[in-house]
Amino acid sequence: MKFRLLSLLLTVTLLACNGKTASKTTQQTTSAPTYKNKGHELVSKMVEKVGSYNQLLTLKDVVYTLTYQTADVKTDIVTEKYLFDGQLSYGLYKQHQRTLADLEGPIEQGFDGQEFWLKQNGKILNNPNYLKKVAFNRPTNFYWFTMFQKLLDPGVNYTFVGEQTINNTEYHIVKISFETNDDKPTDIYQLYINKNTLLVDQFLFTVADYGMLETPLLMQLQYQEIEGMLLPTQRQYKKSTWDATINDGPWIHVNWSNIQFNNQLSPVDFKK
């Protein structure tokens, strides 16, 4: 009887020791995240706050309404659809006073993973000038929706610029640039990350495709939480300086509404 009791105690002791060893091993293999520099760390923590690209992949796809109003009150109203795996993109322009305004009736733009395409009233258009616009719009609209997540893509450079207080709010400032294989200039972003919320309240940006490199634009953002993601659904921007000083001119407004994730979209939905 004593032998059985000693055997049981020995077994319990060994199990306890094994449990401690396993726990210690787990702690040793858990490593802290590594960052290129302070700017990279700040951007990573911001993305952690708003939601990662892996979270978007879990949500599969999105359908939403994009309303874009220029300073001279020309408006686009677009039903946008994206498939996050493959970065497929579609837009149905119910109103297009600023995008291909010379075309009458509804137009559709698409990127199916291989080619860009355009339809007017259901008819395919092959005009090279029109398709050039589509080739700008489709990846640009997709990028704006996923911008913060894609700031952690390979080939992104981070520079911590410093700190600044604007309207009693303290910000970390991080400059973003992109690696390239040629001498073609790329866009530059300057993020103003709120110290308290870790969110980007505003950012400066250039548009290299349109030669806007010297004078940046300032984008201001308001967020909405949907399906665990913090999305900058209300935006306004205008010309600025690299010190984030804006002029007295009117704002351009860009709003996202009726956002629905996981709509069971497939690559077929993006074919022309």
pLDDT in tens, 140-191: 999 999 999 999 999 999 999 999 999 999 999 999 999 887 777 788 999 9
Q: What is the mean pLDDT of residues 28-35?
A: 70
List the domain boundaries for the chain: 38-270
> pLDDT band at residue 40, thresholds of 50, 70 and 90?
very high
Burial class (CB in 10 A: 0-12, 13-18, 19+), 79: middle
Q: What pLDDT score was predicted for residue 24?
A: 38
Q: What pLDDT score was predicted for residue 15?
A: 37
Q: What is the mean pLDDT of residues 49-56?
A: 98
> pLDDT band at residue 208, thresholds of 50, 70 and 90?
confident
Mean pLDDT (the chain) is 89
Q: Residue 263's CB: how many other CB atoms inside 10 A?
A: 13
Q: What is the mean pLDDT of residues 4-27?
A: 39
Q: What is the largest CA-CA distance in the chain?
A: 96
- Both ends of the chain: CA-CA distance in Å? 81
Residue 2 scores a pLDDT above 60: no
Residue 21 scores a pLDDT above 50: no
> pLDDT band at residue 17, thresholds of 50, 70 and 90?
very low
Measured CA to CA, the distance from residue 44 to residue 160 in angstroms comes to 13
Of residues 85 and 186, the one with the higher pLDDT is 85
Q: What is the mean pLDDT of residues 72-78?
A: 96
Tokens coding 263: 């709509």
Reference 96, options 53, 134, 146; nearest CA is 134
Q: Residue 12's CB: how many other CB atoms inside 10 A?
A: 10
> Residue 4: which H helix or E strand, with range?
helix 2-29
Residue 22 scores a pLDDT above 60: no
The DSSP annotation for 120-166 comes to ETTEEE--HHHHHHHHHHHHHHHHHHHHHHHTTSTTEEEEEEEEEEE
At the topology level of CATH, where does 38-270 sit? outer membrane lipoprotein receptor (LolB), chain A (2.50.20)
Measured CA to CA, the distance from residue 20 to residue 196 in angstroms comes to 38
Residue 228 scores a pLDDT above 70: yes
pTM for the complete prediction? 0.85
> pLDDT band at residue 33, thresholds of 50, 70 and 90?
confident
Query: Are 271 and 84 within 8 A, CB to CB?
Result: no
> Residue 48: which H helix or E strand, with range?
helix 38-50
| DSSP single-letter state for residue 80 | E
- Quick one: what percent of the chain has pLDDT higher than 90? 79
